[in-house]
Amino acid sequence: MAGETALHVCDSQIGGRCVVLLHGYLESMLVWDDFIKLLYKEIRVVSMDLPGHGISVVKGEMHSMEFLADTVADGIRALGIRRCTVVGHSMGGYVALALCERHPELLDGLVLISSTPNADTPEKQENRRREIEAVRSGRKELLSRIAPSAGFAEENRGRMQDAIEELTEQIFVTEDAGIIALLNGMIARKDRNEMLRTTKVPVCFILGRKDGYIPVETAERMVAEHPEAEVVWLEHSGHMGFLEEPEKTAAALLHFVRSGAEPAPAD
């Protein structure tokens, strides 16, 4: 349990420094399995199913980013972790940003992988509402046809076919109510650019040059607006850089973690 919310967690348990990995929309903590192998010998690694995905519970018709952040914070404290670097992929980045705003005392660092502090544009909100309608009308398979492969750079889709099939399967096993709750939460989330500019928590962006969801022009504008952040570009990746270029992503993350504050002992 994380507070009042049941949370599915995996913890390597060993290491002075700690990273907490937060997956994206239509994913679960299983998406990190291969990536964790590049990290766990050097640092403690925690992953979890965010409420609404994986086998964590669904609570209501909207999972706000604030609710998710508070649930993650409860989980971190329950594991006896005093401080960590939180790593959020895509939607997980939105949760990580809310965590940074609401529980900065828990964080040694904040890493956004293919994510932004921007609120949804009206067009994006409308797209999410269409996804909600598709799920409610029993047409979830529409998401499975598009979303998994669209996350990868076109040049990588052939060699990443196994990962695409795993992500497709994940959509079918995800509860409809969980998909809807998280879509509603993303629609409602607020802009956190100002928070990011003023936080004392060190920040790192890891971005794909060939990301179909965050066009390079948008990413470059975000980088320019946040000179306080470290930036790592994955030249051959789309939205799933930690799967497309895992070694480079892991090396960047480990460097960022090592360069941060001294690790806090577990309670």
pTM of the predicted model over 0.75: yes
pLDDT (0 to 100) of residue 162: 97
Position 186 pLDDT exceeds 80 = yes
Rounded average pLDDT over 225-242: 97
Residue 207 pairs in a beta bridge with: 233
Sheet with 84-89, side-by-side order of all strands: 8-11, 44-49, 18-22, 84-89, 107-113, 203-208, 230-234
Distances (CA, A) of 213 to 20, 45, 84: 23, 27, 28
How far apart are the C-alpha atoms of 29 and 69, rounded to whole Å?
Answer: 16
Greater pLDDT, 262 or 101? 101
Position 48 pLDDT exceeds 70 = yes
241-252 pLDDT tens trace: 999 999 999 999
Distances (CA, A) of 160 to 61, 154, 183, 248: 33, 10, 26, 17
209-231 pLDDT tens trace: 999 999 999 999 999 999 999 99
CB 249 within 8 A of CB 162: no
pLDDT (0 to 100) of residue 3: 60
Structure tokens at 89: 């992929």
Closest CA to 141 of 163, 187, 173, 178: 173
pLDDT (0 to 100) of residue 264: 40
188-212 pLDDT tens trace: 999 999 999 999 999 999 999 999 9
Domain spans of the chain, in order of start: 8-258
Position 261 pLDDT exceeds 80 = no
Q: How far is CA 54 from the centre of its chain?
A: 14
Write down the mean pLDDT value for the chain: 94
pLDDT (0 to 100) of residue 4: 74
Contacts for 116 with CB less than 8 Å, ≥ 6 apart: 93, 214, 218, 219, 222
Secondary structure class of 58 (helix, strand, coil)? coil
Q: Indicate the CATH number for domain 8-258.
A: 3.40.50.1820
Position 266 pLDDT exceeds 50 = no
Position 145 pLDDT exceeds 60 = yes
